[in-house]
Amino acid sequence: MAVLVGRTNAGKSTLLNALVGRKVSIVTPKPQTTRDTIHGIVHHPKGQVVFVDTPGFFHTRGTRMVQELHDRTREALADVDVVLHLVDPTREPGPEDALVAEALKAITSPRILCIGKSDAHERPHRRHWMGQALSYQAVLDVSGATGSGLAALIEKLILLVPEGEPLYPPSDTTNSTRDFQIAEIIREQVYLQASDEVPYRTKVSIDKVEVMPATRDRPERLGIDATVFAGDERYQRMLIGKGGARVKQIREFSRRELQRVLGQKVALSLDIHVDGSLT
Ligand SMILES: Nc1nc2c(ncn2[C@@H]2O[C@H](COP(=O)(O)OP(=O)(O)OP(=O)(O)O)[C@@H](O)[C@H]2O)c(=O)[nH]1
Ligand SMILES: [Mg+2]
């Protein structure tokens, strides 16, 4: 198992999806998009590699939610063959990188430094990271956006990961359930469509998923009923928008993305409720 760690927004989930060749983890420009550890499975002729995506380290460690996310990542690190430390050379190294370094201190597994976003025009902080190269078994430039460097990364990992029985059957690309993947795709759209506000206090529940048989004028569709829970009424109003405009937008973008990822027609019904326990 190879665990991907790094500051929030470094591009861990983008990299995971590119490695697997399918969206198994959601991606947004907002911090701490990933909330759970998610396995992405790569089936290579020389063996299976399981990559673990983790919540990124974020500087406002004071809130309970951020603490919980950091703890989840630390737990994932305890049980790992190789650490993939993904860094973002487009951003100045800062307190978030210091938190990652702190979490890695006690980990004795081999580690690879992945210098990300190699497609970006300017990577002014790449030199800083090259200066740290001696603390790692290998250093690679990678891009989740273009796929550059990924074949080399997989080759390196196959050398470092101990051989064993494959954990997953050849048809699996992730350990998440279908309902979890559906909920995540809706949460991704909540993050993407909800202006600048960071929608931490959002939860998505899947209430029903059923195949709706074809009718005379409609093909077969997957009917999904879901609820987005907002932390308070103000945020609920924001998610609904004027005359329901925002929820309509979230629903339509989610529906299209679900169709793309699931490869079938989708009918989506979406409610927005308040859950006061979301802090
Ligand atoms: N140019 C470029 N942008 C990237 C690349 N990878 C990710 N991004 C962008 O960086 C932002 C964050 O990407 P994510 O994959 O969600 O980052 P993450 O490390 O999983 O973030 P958290 O889940 O919040 O920890 C998004 O806006 C991506 O489009 C890359 O290889 N090149
Ligand atoms: Mg992520």
pLDDT, tens digit, for every residue of 5-55?
999 999 999 999 999 999 999 999 999 899 999 999 999 998 899 999 999
For the stretch 69-95, pLDDT in tens is 999 999 999 989 999 999 999 999 999
pTM value is: 0.95
CATH number of 178-274: 3.30.300.20
Sorted by where each begins, the domain ranges of the chain are 2-160, 178-274
The answer to whether 103 touches 73, Cβ cutoff 8 Å, is: yes
CA of 120, nearest ligand number: 1
For the stretch 145-180, pLDDT in tens is 999 999 999 999 998 888 888 999 999 999 999 999
Sign of CA dihedral 186, 120, 153, 44: positive
Ligand 2: distance of its center to the CA of 53 in Å? 7
Ligand 2: distance of its center to the CA of 185 in Å? 13
Query: Per CATH, the architecture of 2-160 is what?
Result: 3-Layer(aba) Sandwich (3.40)
Radius of gyration (C-alpha) of the chain in whole angstroms:
20
CA of 191, nearest ligand number: 1
Ligand 2: distance of its center to the CA of 116 in Å? 14
Helical segments of 125-169, H only: 126-130, 150-160
Residue with tokens 């993050």: 191
Beta bridge partners of 224: 209, 268
Q: Which pair of structure tokens corresponds to residue 241? A: 């928008």
274 lines ligand 1 (CB under 6 A): no
